[in-house]
Structure 1
């Protein structure tokens, strides 16, 4: 098959599958290290991702709670990767031995593209379990679209409760269940509880006492990343805010919004948020890359793919040995992904120039978590911090790490304005049905007979 038409079709072609942390930072590193080669067309870099932006995921809970504008937690790939080709498409199949990938664009037929170097950085997707009703009723928090939807959905539940006197309907609307006690689950329940408490200040029928937040965790503790002591402290703080923290508990069913837990409790809930783990993106299973028992790409300490040449990987879809802890693998977090990406880019350059690759070695510096406005928990370099200081550390760290000066400035501006202005608690649920008003107007303009027929058809 012929290669893609390019200025220099014989130049080494580096394909980066995924535009998240690893994909974007690897491409940025290649732009820096191969500036002249890219300019002269001696090397080509293509980044393929279903989205044309990179999402800074640690800010998704704050975006869902309205502390940060959703547009400020994403980085447009084409704006920062000016010397690379960015394709908004999905890689559906890959054969590294033959050096080709099948790319499905937004419209039109799939295309086969050839490459010389591969970076598998497709990331992860939510790990769904075979729980009845979960796929139909659950909401994840992995993308900015989900953050926007979750915010609108939660605020809409408050509006439902405010607009009805039906006690059963009110209880369901005001019951919010979050499954998963890791960073994503704890930060999500804490931020959204904070937001809904603020929202009830402007309502007549709904009070903070009416709200029911439940955090469900299968293990015997939450936030294992900050250590057992800080995890226990966090659970106590959440319970003190009225959040029911259930540990050693599993979700058994969510059919028709009825939540059934392994502790025997059963109740209706209008909101179910699922943050109970992730798995490697589906494309890794549709390739000839070696996978481990968890479905991750088998990587080496050099960030190469085990047993393959000119193939690299890192991030959530990869099993990278942690050289600081014998027998362990690097955890799937942003701290490791960003550092791995820089070394990965350097190692590709070393490979192109025939130099020896360097191993990835990084000791975990700790973890920080936000628990709502002015509340947080952290453990860094063995030092335990909680409350306002931890919240300040959380914002300082992530404010510094969010990519590009443009995004840093916008995020800091959001935080600064929030010091002086009240939080916006308006549901924009109609954005998810933009044609509803148009269709209603069109139905109203039909003659009575046609209107009845359209109504029957819709039913």
Structure 2
């Protein structure tokens, strides 16, 4: 009798957590486990801004799949289409070759991509921070702007290169602006011809408040802390047009700049559009047990799935956070095992444990289990949370060593150059154009 083939798409929190638990709960003779992902590592996304700022090395938050998963077969490539009728998944390899993989049970944990709006110039000129390569590229780009500003004789060009704009006042945008502002301020002191006072940082968001998810009081504290550092924050404002040398805002201003970082939300992986299934705000609708209605044997979790939030009554869906993705991975593993063994599936239920936003420079805002903290105590909580959430002891050790070294020795502000010559556009970095459309 052939083994039941369990196919997981996505090496993020949900997918890897699911396979990690399936390896422990299913015997080798019960099922064949397979993972499809373009990368052979699990990325700890919440710490990407610290990679972009140089606080952490890229390897410290990229956890080897082979270290966590011992008997799962890794399939390098992108899942570009699902045919629930024939139970086949289309996978495109890096070479461009395509093949179909049969599955008995499929878990879609494909995560999300940066949400792009129909704004002229965003796809061509904006930078992102959703992948490890983007974070590394962004650091190189920012340092290269300081290098170029230090040697130019043109005051207008110098002002363009020393002005940095971040769009998006959520966790990613706020932490990215905070981390990179500290990077540029420290780096500028090493350039004899640059004055740190000439640096200009802007954080732009369409919402009326900064960090609305963390609450009004803590959001206001974060706002005040960033403004005290000199970051200009423009709320209820968006981007009208972006060119290679300027951004036009909806409030009528035009800011000359060579750097705009786009973090204005996420969209579910385009893979979900290849299924004939219901979507809610672009995410696959699931039952409370995380199965996809009308698609036998298919489950969906994480950023790609609209899982009912039973802790809030079930009228809303769980937000696309690492906390929910990780716990949904464990819960769906139990349900997949139950499917194989013919036992009842259990609905997903998790009460949010709180939120943390690390703004660097010994300052953060956090709300663990409903307790509001700010300043250094909040940063202790934030970094403690990240250390606990990292999936392996090796990753925790690397991050802790990086933090310690940076605190004691500082940064050398070097540009690695390994991304030089590669197209930096958001669609190219995140491979948005490679999914099957029909």
2:375 and 2:87 map into 1 onto residues whose CA distance is 52
Whether 1:244 aligns to 2:236 is: no
Question: What corresponds to 2:426 in structure 1?
Answer: none
Could you tell me whether the CA contact under 8 Å between 1:96 and 1:289 is conserved in 2? Answer: no
What's the TM-score once normalised by structure 2's chain length? 0.94
Gap change, CA 1:108 and 1:236, over 3 Å in 2: closer
* Residue 392 (structure 1) shift: 1.3
Whether 1:351 aligns to 2:343 is: no
Unaligned runs of 5+ in 1: 1-7, 435-459
Match among 310, 317, 322 for residue 323 of structure 1? 310
Question: What corresponds to 2:321 in structure 1?
Answer: 333
* Further displaced range: 175-184 or 365-374: 365-374
* Residue deviations 1:344-402 (CA, integer Å, cap 9, x gap): 00111111111111111111111011102311111122211111111111111001111
Question: What corresponds to 1:156 in structure 2?
Answer: 144
What's the TM-score once normalised by structure 1's chain length? 0.89
Could you tell me whether the CA contact under 8 Å between 1:47 and 1:84 is conserved in 2? Answer: yes
**RMSD value over aligned CA atoms?**
1.3
Aligned 1:349-388 pairs, distance under 5 A? 349-388=337-376
1:162 and 1:195 map into 2 onto residues whose CA distance is 16
Whether 1:260 aligns to 2:248 is: yes
Match among 3, 13, 18 for residue 21 of structure 1? 13
Matched position secondary structure for 2:63: strand
1 or 2 for the larger relative contact order (CA 8 Å, sep ≥6)? 2
Question: What corresponds to 1:103 in structure 2?
Answer: 91
2:391 and 2:186 map into 1 onto residues whose CA distance is 30
Greater C-alpha radius of gyration: 1
Match among 290, 297, 300 for residue 310 of structure 1? 297
* Residue 430 (structure 1) shift: 5.5
* Residue 108 (structure 1) shift: 5.5
* Residue deviations 1:162-182 (CA, integer Å, cap 9, x gap): 111210000000010000000
Unaligned runs of 5+ in 2: 423-438
Question: What corresponds to 2:64 in structure 1?
Answer: 76
Match among 24, 28, 45 for residue 57 of structure 1? 45
Question: What corresponds to 1:446 in structure 2?
Answer: none
2:163 and 2:149 map into 1 onto residues whose CA distance is 10
Aligned 1:364-443 pairs, distance under 5 A? 364-429=352-417, 431-433=419-421
Could you tell me whether the CA contact under 8 Å between 2:364 and 2:382 is conserved in 1? Answer: yes
* Residue deviations 1:21-78 (CA, integer Å, cap 9, x gap): 11111110101111xx22x4x3101100111111100110011111111111111213
* Residue 433 (structure 1) shift: 4.2
1:282 and 1:266 map into 2 onto residues whose CA distance is 33
1:431 and 1:67 map into 2 onto residues whose CA distance is 19
Gap change, CA 1:76 and 1:289, over 3 Å in 2: farther
* Further displaced range: 415-424 or 50-59: 415-424
Aligned length: 421
1:195 and 1:242 map into 2 onto residues whose CA distance is 13
Gap change, CA 1:108 and 1:329, over 3 Å in 2: closer
Question: What corresponds to 1:232 in structure 2?
Answer: 220
Match among 248, 254, 269 for residue 281 of structure 1? 269
Could you tell me whether the CA contact under 8 Å between 1:253 and 1:260 is conserved in 2? Answer: yes
* Residue 431 (structure 1) shift: 4.7
2:344 and 2:254 map into 1 onto residues whose CA distance is 59
* Residue 154 (structure 1) shift: 0.4
Could you tell me whether the CA contact under 8 Å between 1:156 and 1:429 is conserved in 2? Answer: no
Could you tell me whether the CA contact under 8 Å between 1:176 and 1:212 is conserved in 2? Answer: yes
Could you tell me whether the CA contact under 8 Å between 1:153 and 1:429 is conserved in 2? Answer: no
Question: What corresponds to 1:454 in structure 2?
Answer: none
Aligned 1:436-455 pairs, distance under 5 A? none
* Residue 99 (structure 1) shift: 0.7
Question: What corresponds to 1:449 in structure 2?
Answer: none
Whether 1:297 aligns to 2:289 is: no
Question: What corresponds to 2:436 in structure 1?
Answer: none
1:419 and 1:168 map into 2 onto residues whose CA distance is 35
